[in-house]
Amino acid sequence: MDSINTKLESRLGSMVMSNPIVPASGTFGNGKKFQSFYDINVLGAVLSKSVTLESRTGNPQPRIFETPFGIMNSVGLENKGIDWFKKEILPFLTTLKTKKWVSISGFTTQEFVDLAESLNGFPIDAIEVNVSCPNIHAGGVQFCQNQNTLKETLHKVRKCSNSFLIAKIALETNPLDEAIRIISDEGFDAVCLGNTVRGLAIDVVNKKPFFKKTIAGLSGPAIKPIALRAVWEAYSFNPNLPIIGCGGIMTSSDVLEFIMAGASICEIGTANLIDPFAMPNIINSLSAYCSQNAISLRELVGIAH
């Protein structure tokens, strides 16, 4: 490994990664299509599209709405379920040389447990537990917004899995300090902040909400200050819990801001939908920055505090 790559080396707790760039779940498919553009092993990790226990057709069309500084989406976790994933996607993921992460999404605590258990024994490096999903047993409230549910879910997942576990919570999680405490207390290895921000679009011609599900998720540059604030606060609450920053990250400068605010790793989402080469370009820019400034990225984690 040359000096520039060494300077890009990042640590997420006990996990050592070649660089801090990871695709956000749902914006990279499962990696196969992007492999035709470039060798995705250059990424710090490849994170799969969220998988659920059963196959899901997702939400009805329309699913995408452009805003001046981002996009809104209402995809609804469309996927073919864990059995298909293990048969069709895991064999591809396990051929990769870089770190292999799998995102799981459940609608009950037991679904999360079943999903985590089903991945035991597979050569993956981490499971991202998407607890920003709605809990159907609690009126659709996100798991991360109910402290008791969050604690129970993380406790049971940790108990059934020996994997490196990441809790993905919403940027709007409140109170954030309590969620961070629960994630740490339940033995999770890292937290990902976060998901899209809930928003609304109105179809002025038809005089009704644009999306059939009414509320949709806003992503892109518009939410970067919100995501950056969440990372800053999480690091302030517990600098010992490794943080993955996610939300509106488009450039290497954005990545540096998140790292300086306290993130060790950054997930890139909407940028992948605009430019398939966004992530390797960011990695190259980070290499140049580290070389020009004779500094490693690990030295910058939380430095702005």
133 catalytic? Reply is yes
When computed from its CA atoms, the radius of gyration of the chain, rounded to whole angstroms, is 18
Written as one letter, the residue type at 74 is S
Dig out the tokens for 285 from the structure: 């820019």
Catalytic: which of 133, 144, 246, 290? 133
95 burial level (CB within 10 Å; 0-12, 13-18, 19+):
exposed
Buried b (16+ CB within 10 A) or exposed e, 164-201: bbbbbbbbbbeebeebbbbbbebebbbbbbbbbbebeb
Nearest residue to 105 (alpha-carbon basis) of 15, 170, 13, 174? 170
Secondary structure E strands in 126-233: 126-130, 134-135, 141-142, 165-169, 190-193, 197-200, 202-203, 208-209, 215-219
Q: Which residues are catalytic?
A: 133
